[in-house]
Amino acid sequence: MDVSTVVMILAFVAAYFVWFRSITRSLKGPKGPRLWPVLGSLPGLIENNSRMHEWIAENLRACGGTYQTCIFAVPFLARKQGLVTVTCDPKNLEHILKVRFDNYPKGPTWQAVFHDLLGQGIFNSDGDTWLFQRKTAALEFTTRTLRQAMARWVSRAIRDRFCPILKTAQLEGKPVDLQDLLLRLTFDNICGLAFGKDPQTLSPGLPENGFALAFDRATEASLQRFILPEFIWKFKKWLRLGMELNLSHSLKHVDDYMTNIINTRKLELVSQHDGGSLHDDLLSRFMKKKESYTDEFLQHVALNFILAGRDTSSVALSWFFWLVTLNPKVEEKLLIELCSILIQSRGCDTSKWLDEPLVFEEVDRLIYLKAALSETLRLYPSVPEDSKHVIADDVLPDGTFVPAGSNITYSIYSTGRMEFIWGDDCLEFKPERWLSEDGKKFEARDQYQFVAFNAGPRICLGKDLAYLQMKSIAAAVLLRHRLVVAAGHKVEQKMSLTLFMKDGLKVNVQARELGPILDKIGGTGKAREGLITNGISHAHVEVIN
């Protein structure tokens, strides 16, 4: 190697390090993850792979709520595709999700990853395509009949499947994986609500279902694409290798299943005019509209809502039950509220409480339960991180410059764990923070401080349905059973787009003894009769507060 070549190499290296120093100084959040030459923040990502969400939260605390990093510190990438802005500041979230909504779409990377499974469905589209579906779906989600349909599906699954399985586990003294049971329960419910067919995954023996397996495999294979550069997974797709081959097979199964559903439903809706059965699922509602939708569009409508509605509620309930086992005082308050309402609505004979799951009017009055579920979602949001693509150069409210072509991640997990948002007790499980001072009313927080259901124009349409389902399931379990985490079982987060428990939630199911709770809220006999006559608010609030 001659001298001139050596000089050129040294000059190149020197120029790179001058650039590297300037780029590290220009990024927002000097106390964020360490940047390495060329590799950027990749070593930190690898090192903290098993605790990614906590690592992001630690960096955000150190940087005051926002930092910027480069996945690869390479000049032609660092100012655009390689630059990632990470934030949990509510002011920035409002700017991204509402004020400059059009400047922060899901973007081409997200859409490419999920296109094969979700097409141009509502959760994988932007612009006019998204807006049309949003308006159409919003009309349906505001109707009382859809809420009533959800209540029927949930009640049926709780009464006929979920409770009997837990009862069997109690009698046999065998632990169960509660997360798995909840995933099956919510999958059956969302399929019923989305396209009116029950896959019966939550049945005795917990059978495998072809559609459920294919859908899970397709989702997992799609998520794998996030790990790889786009050109690599597209090359593997072209060659039909690895997960891409699995994705192709799974999508074929899903497509065949949904095609059969749609064709059958078309015939049923025609016969409905001749006295056939009534369908009130989401798919049927779209098919009944005067607009003519393609079968592909209808399939994507159903699959998008299954993806959004299945894992989110079951994962939230898993963390809720785990937190309840760790906080017996919260469990007691939940039972006091539940029993107080049932005394008023069903009388003092507790045997009548177990005949049927709670009806909508009873579920709607469970204020402390809603607070506890909201507190769970604050600490353990079902979708812990989300990202957006930046269309044009912009400046966030905290002064952070974000260049066009870069990505911005907002950490929902971190937003619920920041002292400057929630106070010094932000890491405590404290449902009372969601109640009015007298404990009688649920008080929602600003949607940009509590982003578990997204916020702005894309806020979750199914939020009320999710609370209805979660409250119904939680009430049914609390009323009948006391759950204890199985000895030796360790609860850990699984690093994925949804905050699953890595090894599920293994619990022992014990019988619930309501006597002590009933004594606390009014004793027996005439005392309970007086409680019913005078209303429950005094007894309820006295214990809750």
The identity of residue 505, as a single letter, is L
Contacts 24+ apart (CB under 8 A), 294-300: 295/259, 295/262, 296/119, 297/119, 298/262, 299/119, 299/255, 299/258, 299/259, 299/262, 300/118, 300/119, 300/120, 300/121
CA distance 439 to 442: 8
Looking at every residue in the chain, the average pLDDT score rounds to: 85
Give the residue numbers of the binding site: 460
Give the residue numbers of the binding site for heme: 460
Residue 409 lies in a domain: yes
In this prediction, residue 526 has a pLDDT band, given cuts at 50, 70 and 90, of very low
Q: What is the pLDDT of residues 261-272, one digit of tens each?
A: 888 888 887 776
Q: What is the 3-state secondary structure (H, E, C) of 166-180?
A: HHHHHHHCCCEEHHH
Residue 201 lies in a domain: yes
Q: Is the pLDDT of residue 333 over 60?
A: yes
Residue 168 lies in a domain: yes
In this prediction, residue 8 has a pLDDT band, given cuts at 50, 70 and 90, of confident
Give the structural domain span for 507.
127-544
Q: Who wins on pLDDT, 537 or 522? A: 522
Q: What is the pLDDT of residues 135-185, one digit of tens each?
A: 878 877 777 777 888 888 899 999 999 999 999 999 999 999 999 999 999
Task: Provide the pLDDT for residue 19.
Answer: 62
Q: What is the 3-state secondary structure (H, E, C) of 295-307?
A: HHHHHHHHHHHHH
Contact 247, 116 (CB under 8 A): yes
Lookup result for tokens 């798995």: 180
Residue 96 lies in a domain: no
Task: Provide the pLDDT for residue 317.
Answer: 97
Strand partners, 66: 87
Number of domain units in the chain: 1
Residue 227 lies in a domain: yes
CATH code of 387's domain: 1.10.630.10
In this prediction, residue 273 has a pLDDT band, given cuts at 50, 70 and 90, of low
Tokens for 6, please give them: 């050596």
Residue 45 lies in a domain: no
Residue 50 lies in a domain: no
Q: What is the pLDDT of residues 342-357, one digit of tens each?
A: 999 988 888 788 888 8
Task: Provide the pLDDT for residue 50.
Answer: 81
Q: Who wins on pLDDT, 491 or 84? A: 491
The set of residues, in sequence order, having a beta carbon less than 8 Å from that of 351 and lying 6+ positions away, is none
Residue 175 lies in a domain: yes
State which H helix or E strand residue 388 sits in: strand 385-389
Q: Is the pLDDT of residue 535 over 70?
A: no
In this prediction, residue 484 has a pLDDT band, given cuts at 50, 70 and 90, of very high
Mean pLDDT, range 485-493, rounded to an integer: 95
Q: What is the pLDDT of residues 202-243, one digit of tens each?
A: 988 898 888 888 988 888 888 778 767 677 888 888 888 888
Weakest-pLDDT range from 19-33, 149-163, 405-419: 19-33
Q: From its phi and psi, is residue 107 left (phi > 0), alpha (psi between -120 and 50) or beta?
A: left
Mean pLDDT, range 36-46, rounded to an integer: 74
